[in-house]
Amino acid sequence: MKKLLVLLLILTLAVSIVGCAPKEEKVEEAVAPVETPEVVEEPVNLTPLVVGYAAFSEKFSPFFSSTAYDADVSSLTQESLLTTDRTGGIIYNAIDGEKGIYNGVEYFYSGMADVKVDYDEASDITTYNMKIRDDVRFSDGEYADADDIIFSYYVLSDPTYTGSSTLYSYDIIGMTNYRMNNSMAEELVISPDELAAELENPGEESISIIESFVADILISEVDWVKSLYGADTWANDYVEMHPEAKDLFAFFYNIDDDYDSYAVEDEATVIEDILAQYGSDWKTLSANYGGTESYFQPDIEAAVGESLLQAKLASSEGVEVPNIEGIKKLSQTEVEVKVRGFEAPAVYTIAGIDIAPMHYYGDESLYDYDKDMFGFQREDLSIVESKTTKPMGAGPYEFIKYQDKIVYFEANEYYYKGEPKTKYLQLKETTDGEMIAGVGIGEIDIANPSGSVAKFEELKTYNTNLEVVGDVITANSVDNLGYGYIGINATNVNVDGNPDSEESKNLRKGFATVYSVYRDVAIDSYYGDAAMVINYPISNTSWAAPQKADEDYEVAYSKDIDGNQIFTSSMVADEKYDAALEAAKGYFKAAGYTYDETSGMFTAAPEGAFLEYEIIVPGSGEGDHPAFAILADTREALTKIGITLNINDPSDTNVLWNSLDSNVHLMWTAAWGSTIDPDMYQVYHSSNGKGKGGTDSNSYNIADPELDRLIIEARQSTDQAFRKVAYKQALDIILDWAVEVPTYQRQNLVIFSTERVDMDTVTPNITTYWGWMNDIELLEMN
Amino acid sequence: MKNSKKTTKKATNKSSDYISAKDARRIAKENRRITDEFEKIKNRKNVPESEYTTEMKNSNNLLEVENLHTYFFTDIGVVKSVSGVTFNVPKGKTVGIVGESGCGKSVTSLSIMQLVQRPQGQIVDGEIRFDFDKAIYDIVKIPTEKMQDIRGNEIAMIFQEPMTSLNPVFRIGLQINEVIELHNPEMSKEDVKSRTLEMIKMVGIPDVEKIYKMYPHELSGGMRQRIVIAMALSCDPKLIIADEPTTALDVTIQAQIMDLLRNLKDRINSSIMLITHDLGVIAEMADEVVVMYAGKVVEKGTAHEIFHNPSHPYTIGLMASRPGIGDKKSGKLFSIPGSVPNPVDMPNYCYFRDRCDRAIDACNGEYPPQIFLSDTHMVTCYRYLKDKGEQND
Amino acid sequence: MRKYIIKRIAISVVLLFFVSMIIYIIMRSIPTSYVETQARMLSQMPGAKSYADWLAQLNTTYGMDKGILEGFMQWASNAIHGDFGDSWQFNVPVVEKFQSVIWDSFKLGSIAFILQIFIAIPLGILAARKQYSRSDYTITVLALLGISLPAFFFATILKLIFSAWLGWLPLYGKVGRYYELLSGFDQFFDIAIHFILPILTLTIVGVGGLMRYTRTNMLEVLNSDYIRTARAKGLSEKRVVNYHAFRNTLIPIVTILGGTLPGLFAGALITETLFQIPGIGYTGYLAMVSGDIPFTMFYMVFMAFLTLLGTLIADILYAVVDPRVRVS
């Protein structure tokens, strides 16, 4: 028919439009695609290896990458000074190489640099010495040397550096001086007396600092008061008494007895008035806000101290600091970094940098080590930033371009371990749901889909043998670096305001016991094979994690108030739930709750505690969270004994983060991403509790002196065995405080196309710390 | 005398518009079957000419319509719009078709042009014989391609609504050119255009060149109707069917158009079939008159006979309904009470019986036969059965 | 006509100004802004500055410390000079990022558009001509299916059939793995193959509405008096439908098509995401969701401009096809 012909013509026309459209922008580093390689013995396989990846944000820089995926792109082009093995342990003599045993197999590890860590107790200084090979070359052929290392250090230390590395937070000698550009910066401190004196009689500057602090707190309190309306909270009675937010706010914070907020119409005026009442009186604010006058002391001290320090510096005799004293170039291949004090995890940050080419990321003409010029204009990282989207380094692959949602790489012919066997590599953006299909059909060859029951089922269908390892797809499960948990805030969930009392611990244990017993069924239904329940608040991948085979390994919260096991091995699920509920009753009673025998319910809570608690779970408002089933079951169980658990599932996760930030949370669920080192300082040390002036990451507000001691000791030791013992004790204390119920540990999938990838060349025994990209230079296509 | 409302044969309790689902399906199936049959015949290619060639009964006639039945097969049943219409149009004469709305006069004209909307509408029976000079064809049987040669060429039609009869997106000149070109492919472009301009002038429009370039919406109703007339005349048709050409226009324009038509009638030698419900127009223009009611011809004759001797009670009523100046003093306009019967459910007796104020006993019988009061005057009414030629009061 | 166009353009400029102001206000008022997200992320790094510190620093960097109206004026005065700033999310100038993603969307959109026209209009006319016949019912049902079933449903089915089962077409992506090794025509062919399924998806989804619209209008036209006149003139049915009737149906169709101009550049978020085509749909969505104000402003204002242009073109076209509307 004529119409069909017309249609065909149109299609041809259309197809030609596609071709004749404006050309895409020229790529600066366009490499001629069909490049016959120079004399090679074996024919190089030109089939590109395609890896499915989640979406990139194009921050492909060893300095500035923000997402893990961007970081992976960058790391393919980079080589790190620090070499680690399959357990996350450090290979110190990487140039010659070392052997390591994993899972009964011996492996040989090598890297580009030797790292030495020397702690001198007398001077309390740790010296990190990094020595690199002399034959490491960047992908443009240039040799890598200590100048590049120095350059990298200075970029990371620059005051305007906004990337994710925290090198500058370590107490490297001369770092603070350099960043403040004042040679007195490290010495100058504000003594406690000076600070106290300033607080007694605050100067103008201090007053305005304090006033703005007070104002900020009060204003955020207004928002908090408003959030109590329309929601079912503990403050319902108050809300009823004061129908208007401004009045409730005044009720909480008014310090002038003669002031009547009801008489004032306008909310803004009320706020102004209350603000005026306080002025710079932070002590009263502390009392009204946190219960004690010293509540805000750390904040005030920090802020005022900072300004005093600045003033002192400005008026001091300090001179400008041209370099960082503690970072020294010893030879063309050797660099030394001196740090005050010793922390075990520090080596991962200090030695774990990529050796970035100075002639690319910086300006060679601006480098002269002896003249204190380090390759860029100080406090001006624009050259580095301009290269953010195009990384280059000494790694196995060279970045070609990012186009059409694919990152193109070519093998680095100068790679010190030998040119990678697979010449072309592509990282192709793929949706998580299509990764398995992509490998099965042939779009991609390797991928990291998230684990779930459905995914496992799906990938089995591609293999003839219907298993996870077959003729089409080979799948590895790897533990995720991190775990999920339920947290309880000791500051707000306690008896009589004493977070560390036995009663308070029992109160929390009551909840924890019931949460724990429902973990298995919930995680199994949500994740299936893709996750497992863990019993210690630490990622299972860490060398410090207690293993089931260990003697003292216990299931979390499986003991009752008298220390007896709640469960027996013959119990079925329902029996376990009942047993747990009974044990919980025991805990609540011990906490001081009034129990009514006849109804079998609790009728009254002791002072400071309640019969009703709220838990926040970020399930997008739909209950879509692995722990949600746990909470729902717990709520049902606790209702039987008269305790009410309110599940708050906001559609906006910021509700959770804001609660955590302002320390109003009672209980919550979340997940930790762990670091390679099991150091617990950030999260469990009392100084990092909310508002204590530290990292504020200790949302549990656990403050146990024994725990603190253990943490500090383990942190400062290099003895792995010692640390493991210490951490076990620490974990037990955390469980005793019942501030955390460890829930699940996910498994990630790494899948390969058996058909197209030569599985024999894939690095064996992939772990959390040893991904498939390690030894990528050996990977070959079929 | 007031008529009693007699019920129709099939008495139902519900209103007659209600059709049950079973009935609807049955009707639809029937309709499908019948129309499919007709369509099959109509859609044949290469119909031999002998099938539709025929002979005129009277060689003076241009058009002979005999026993025409045109039905519409609708969802509620078969609507018999035209059921047994017979009349002739002599050459060079003007025949007026009179009747009220819905009596089937438009459908008759559409049937003659084969413009009835298929497949729902079908000419079920009858013959329409037309004298084309070179041949005489029965239009009912003519295939569509042949008909397209005839339409606009030998038979032309003027429609009722001048405001919407012209295509709004084409210029006037183009629309008239088109019909000339179509039927005279050998004419050159300039000749076509000059013919068009000639036609436009002929219908009394002064500014010929300007109008040629205009769009229909730029003209008034009267002007548009003139253009439509020009279009109809442009190929010198033998028969012009004018379906209520002045109904949509106001009185003064009406007069102008009628003048125009009258003038043209004298100048061209077409026959005109003039359909209207306006007796005044008939009186002015028509040589012969056909009175239709409910799909049938109830009376026909010369204009003189009809006007001076209206015989059928319906015709008498029509005449009486004309408002006249200085007529009766009653002040109230006469109108025939009642309304046309349901077209789906036509009764078996005289359709006019229920509204007739002169009904006699014989009217309760079947539909009255055709009675000739003279050679040219026919009426279908029992009142004239026994005493032919006599009138009754 | 010229005066009319000039007047319309003048009005459009004013409209554009206010529309961009409204968009800016909305972007500034959304609860979580880009700056806050960044600050939160940065503050959660071990050993990093606190959230408040980061917030203050980033606010200044991104110019969010100004008031809303002031910020808008700043943006507007830059925009008039053609400087739309750098995208926060993508770290490159807004115009550059936009240009790199818009053409793919445009190609997809325009080809689908053309296909839709050439499928929908003839089918709609056919359905109208043969009303209540079998072909009419078939076409109407197909149209309804196309309208009701969502894009991701079709896309998934197409992928299942053509990619998973038959293996003829790629599962997703704009280029295949060998793209860089191919040359000239092969490269173009590679992209064309990859575009087939997304275009097909877009076409199926869009063709239903236009088909029904054409059918309805055509029915109306076919029942009108001047068509009867045309038939009475003796014109063949083909001429009546394809010339007289079609010309009139064209009026509403052309005006609708004029208004779809913005649609060609809007990108198809779902289709692009499903097929991993680097188009403006997903990019714009990403920018909006992360609160990237410069990019979103540019994109939205561009769309507003296109909408105004589209309506103007539709109005002009309307006057072109329908002589009744022309203002002398």
**Start-end ranges of CATH 3.40.50.300 in chain B?**
155-236
Q: Is C50 on the interface with A (CB under 8 A)?
A: yes
Domain that holds residue C127: 101-291
Q: Which of B144, B178, B217 sits opposite C233 (nearest CB)?
A: B178
Is C174 within the bounds of a domain?
yes
Contact C79, C170 (CB under 8 A): no
* pLDDT over 70 (residue A587): yes
CATH of domain B155-236: 3.40.50.300
Identify whether residues C54 and C147 lie together within a single domain. no
Q: Touch between chain A and chain B (3+ CB pairs, < 8 Å)?
A: no
Three-state DSSP string of A501-518:
CHHHHHHHHHHHHHHHHC
Q: Which helix or strand (DSSP H or E) is residue C320 part of? A: helix C293-321
User: CA distances (Å), A93 to each of A98, A115, C158, in order?
Assistant: 7, 7, 55
Mean pLDDT of B356-360: 79
Q: What is the pLDDT of residue C45?
A: 55
Q: Is C224 on the interface with B (CB under 8 A)?
A: yes
Whole-number pLDDT of residue A36: 45
Lowest mean pLDDT among A637-641, B36-40, B305-309, C272-276: B36-40
- For B14, counting Cβ atoms within 10 Å of its Cβ (0-12 exposed, 13-18 middle, 19+ buried), the class is exposed
Q: Do C114 and A19 touch (CB under 8 A)?
A: no
pLDDT at B12: 43
The shortest C-alpha distance from C9 to chain B (Å) reads 27
Average pLDDT of every residue of chain A: 84
- CA–CA–CA angle A490, A492, A497 (5° rounding): 85
pLDDT at A19: 44
User: Can you tell me the mean pLDDT for A81-101?
Assistant: 87
Neighbours of chain A (3+ CB pairs under 8 A): C
Cβ contact (<8 Å) for C45 and A166? Answer: yes
Q: What is the DSSP string of A263-318?
A: G---HHHHHHHHHHHHTT-HHHHHHHHHSSTTTTHHHHHHHHHHHHHHHHHHHS-P
- Residue A724: predicted pLDDT: 87
Residue A361 is predicted with a pLDDT of: 93
Judgement on whether residues C37 and C167 belong to the same structural domain of the protein: no
Task: Give one DSSP letter per residue of A399-463, joined into a string.
Answer: EEEEETTEEEEEE-TT-TT---S--EEEEEE--GGGHHHHHHHTS-SEE-PPP-HHHHHHHHHHS
Q: How far is B212 from chain C (nearest CA, A)?
A: 15
List pLDDT tens digits, range A176-201.
888 888 777 777 766 777 777 877 88
Residue C130 shares a structural domain with residue C72: no
Residue B69 has pLDDT above 80, yes or no: yes
The pLDDT value recorded for residue B16 is 54
Nearest Cα residue to B105 out of B301, B308, B296, B378: B296
What is the average pLDDT across B170-185?
91
* pLDDT attached to residue B329: 58
Using the beta-carbon criterion (under 8 Å), do B167 and C228 form an inter-chain contact? no
Q: For position B391, what pLDDT does the model report?
A: 43
Question: Does C227 share its domain with C113?
Answer: yes
Q: Give the pLDDT confidence score for residue B393 in this predicted structure.
A: 39
Q: Which two tokens stand for residue A762?
A: 């894939």
C169 and C253 together in one domain: yes
Question: CA torsion angle for A138, A140, A142, A145 (degrees, to 10)?
Answer: -20
Decide: A564 and A553 in contact? Cβ < 8 Å: no
Q: Which residues of C touch A441 (CB under 8 A)?
A: 163-164, 167, 171
- The two structure tokens encoding residue A330: 């010893």
% of chain B exceeding 90 in pLDDT: 20
| pLDDT of the residue at B331 | 59
List of residues 6+ apart from B37 with CB closer than 8 A:
none
Q: Using a CB–CB cutoff of 8 Å, tell me whether C285 touches chain A.
A: no
ipTM field: 0.82
Mean pLDDT of A250-266: 79
Torsional class of B152: left (φ above 0), alpha (ψ -120 to 50), beta (otherwise) = left
- In total, the C-beta contacts within 8 angstroms joining chain B to chain C are 71
How close C258 gets to chain B, by Cα (Å)? 19
**Which pLDDT band, with edges at 50, 70 and 90, does C84 fall under?**
confident
The β-bridge partners of A411 are A397
- Chain B CB contacts of C322 below 8 Å: 168-169
A166, C47: Cβ pair inside 8 Å? yes
Question: What is the model's pTM?
Answer: 0.72
Residue A4 has what pLDDT?
Answer: 57
B178 touches chain C (CB under 8 A): yes
Q: Do C229 and B228 make contact, defined as CB atoms within 8 angstroms?
A: yes
Q: Considering only alpha carbons, which residue of chain A is nearest residue C170?
A: A443
Tokens of C17: 């100004």
Are A57 and A70 in contact by the 8 Å Cβ rule? The answer is yes
Same domain, C105 and C70: no
Q: Do C165 and C247 fall into the same domain?
A: yes
Chain C residues in contact with A426 by the CB 8 A cut-off are: 177
Mean pLDDT of A616-643: 87
| Radius of gyration (C-alpha) of chain C in whole angstroms | 25
The number of residues making up chain C comes to: 328
B54 neighbors B127 (Cβ within 8 angstroms): yes
Q: What is the pLDDT of residue B192?
A: 92
Residue B215 is nearest to which of C225, C251, C323, comparing CB atoms? C323
Residue tagged 């603190």 (tokens): A708
Distances (CA, A) of C137 to A194, A648, B25, B36: 90, 52, 18, 18
C195 reaches A (C-beta below 8 A) = yes
Contact residues, chain B, for C317 at CB < 8 Å: none
Residues C147 and C61 in one domain: no
Do the Cβ atoms of A584 and A578 come closer than 8 Å? no
Q: What is the mean pLDDT of residues B206-216?
A: 90
Supply φ then ψ for residue A425, to 5 degrees: -130, 135
Touch of C by B (3+ CB pairs closer than 8 Å) = yes
For position B330, what pLDDT does the model report? Answer: 58
Question: Distance of CA A227 to CAs A239, A658, B192, Å?
Answer: 11, 12, 84
Q: For residue B152, which phi and psi values (nearest 5 degrees)?
A: 80, -20
Can you tell me the mean pLDDT for B155-180? 91
More reliable by pLDDT, A402 or B24: A402
pLDDT at B3 > cutoff 60: no
Say yes or no to pLDDT of C260 above 50: yes
C217 and C249 co-located in one domain: yes
Which distant-in-sequence residues (6+ apart) come within 8 Å of B173 by Cβ?
B193, B196, B212, B213
Mean pLDDT of B168-178: 92
Residue A399 has pLDDT above 90, yes or no: yes
Chain A closest CA to C75's CA: distance in Å? 24
Taking the alpha carbons at both ends of chain C, their separation in whole angstroms is: 7
What's the CA gap between A342 and A122, in Å, rounded? Answer: 12
Query: Which residue is it, tokens 């044949």?
Result: B44
Residue A26 pLDDT exceeds 80? no
Are residues C187 and C262 part of one domain? yes
Q: What is the pLDDT of residues B114-143, one digit of tens each?
A: 888 877 888 988 999 998 888 888 888 888
Among B122, B320, C181, CA closest to A34:
C181
| Nearest 10 degrees: Cα torsion C109, C111, C116, C122 | 160
The subunits that touch chain B, with at least 3 C-beta pairs less than 8 Å apart, are C
Q: What is the pLDDT of residues C30-64, one digit of tens each?
A: 776 777 777 776 666 544 566 667 777 777 777 77
Closest chain A CA to residue C53: A303
Q: Does the distance separating the beta carbons of B215 and C234 come in below 8 Å? A: no
CA distance B286 to B306: 11
Instruction: Please check whether residue C231 touches B, CB under 8 A.
Output: yes
Instruction: List, for residues A303-360, the tens digit of each pLDDT value.
Output: 777 777 777 777 777 778 888 888 999 999 999 999 998 888 889 999 999 999 999 9
Is C143 found in the same domain as C79? no
pLDDT at A412: 93
Contacting chains of C (3 CB pairs or more, <8 Å) are A, B
**How many residues are listed for chain B in this entry?**
393
Cβ–Cβ gap C228/B159 under 8 Å:
yes
At residue B324, the pLDDT reads: 66
Residue B14 has pLDDT above 50, yes or no: no
Q: Are B73 and B34 in contact (CB under 8 A)?
A: yes
Distance between CA atoms of residues A277 and B363, nearest Å: 109
The total of structural domains in chain C comes to 2
Token pair recorded at residue B186: 């050998």
DSSP B173-221: HHHHHHHHHHH-TTS-HHHHHHHHHHHHHHTT-S-HHHHHH--GGGS-H
Of C118, C164, C195, the CB nearest to A18: C195
Please give, rounded to a whole number of angstroms, the shortest distance from the CA of B201 to a CA of chain C.
20
**Residue A782: helix, strand or coil by DSSP?**
coil
pLDDT, residue C54, reads: 73
- Measure A159 CA to nearest chain C CA, in Å: 12
Half-sphere exposure of residue A10: CA atoms within 13 angstroms, side-chain side: 16
- Does B196 reach chain C within 8 Å, measured CB to CB? no
Neighbours of B376 (CB within 10 A): 13
Q: What's the pLDDT at A515?
A: 92
Task: Report the alpha-carbon distance of residue A49 to residue A425 in Å, rounded.
Answer: 5
**Please, which pLDDT band fits residue A20 given cuts at 50, 70 and 90?**
very low
pLDDT band at A539 (very low <50, low <70, confident <90, very high): confident
In which band, very low, low, confident or very high, does the pLDDT at A668 lie, cut at 50, 70 and 90? very high
Mean pLDDT of C145-163: 89
Q: Which helix (H) or strand (E) holds B125?
A: strand B121-131
Shortest Cα–Cα distance, C21 to chain B (Å): 42
Residue C132 lies in a domain: yes
- pLDDT confidence band for A719 (50 / 70 / 90): confident
Cβ–Cβ contact C46 with A under 8 A: yes
Whether residue C312 lies inside any domain: the answer is no
A24 and C31 within 8 Å at the Cβ level: the answer is no
Whether residues C108 and C220 share a domain: the answer is: yes
Q: pLDDT band at residue A7, thresholds of 50, 70 and 90?
A: low
Are B168 and C323 within 8 A, CB to CB?
Answer: yes
pLDDT (0 to 100) of residue C299: 87
Weakest mean pLDDT among A23-27, A292-296, C237-241: A23-27
pLDDT for the residue A1: 47
Structure tokens at A519: 């973990």
Give the phi and the psi of residue A108 in degrees, each rounded to 5. -110, 125
CATH numbers and ranges of domains, chain A: 49-185+322-410 (3.90.76.10), 192-315 (no CATH), 482-746 (3.10.105.10)
Confirm whether C88 is domain-assigned.
no
The three-state DSSP-derived secondary structure of A403-418 is ECCEEEEEECCCCCCC
Mean pLDDT of A750-774: 89
- Tokens read off for B7: 């019920």
Under 8 Å between Cβ of C226 and B164: yes
Report the chain A residue with the minimal C-alpha distance to residue C190.
A19
**Which among A339, A418, A366, A414 is positioned nearest to A147, based on CA atoms?**
A366
pLDDT for the residue C114: 92
Q: What integer pLDDT is reported at residue A2 of this predicted model?
A: 53
Question: Which CATH number is C115's domain given?
Answer: 1.10.3720.10
The model's pLDDT over C298-321, given as tens digits with 9 standing for 90+, comes to 888 888 888 888 888 888 888 888
Tell me if C235 is assigned to some domain: yes
Dihedral Cα A717, A722, A726, A731, nearest 10 deg: 110
Contact A404 C114 (CB under 8 A): no
- Please identify which residue in the block is written with the tokens 């039987």: A640
| Nearest by Cα to B130 from B177, B185, B179, B68 | B68
